[in-house]
Amino acid sequence: MTDTQTISPEVAREHWSRSRNLMIITLIVWAIFGYAIHYFVDQLNQIVIFGFPMGWYMGAQGSLIVFVILIFWFAHRQNKIDEELGLAEDSD
């Protein structure tokens, strides 16, 4: 618990508001690729690449790839926020 005393409330507030914004952006991307685009599967299926109708492709692969990249991107950004405000862990 000794650590909180050395962190000023301003820094903590700044950290949390940036973390929260990052969370919101991440979840917007997640919602688009998790739900929104699959509602338009019939329209997407009009486009065919490599034999894949795009609506099918997004469900079978596209959204999954976006999720994987999204999590690594999120982890990287959140880590940056922690480091810039001096709130990251000392070592990994």
Q: Which of 90, 91, 86 lies closest to 7 in space, CA to CA?
A: 86
Determine the residue type at 87. Answer: L
Position among 41, 46, 47, 84 found at the interface with other proteins (CB under 8 A): 41
| Separation CA 73–CA 70 (nearest Å) | 5
Position among 16, 17, 21, 32 found at the interface with other proteins (CB under 8 A): 16
Q: By CB under 8 A, tell whether 28 contacts other proteins.
A: no
Nearest approach in angstroms of CB 38 to other proteins is 7
Write each residue from 56 to 75 as x if it is in contact with other proteins (CB under 8 A), else as -, in one continuous string: xx-xxx-xxx-xx-xxx-xx
Token digits of residue 92: 């990994």
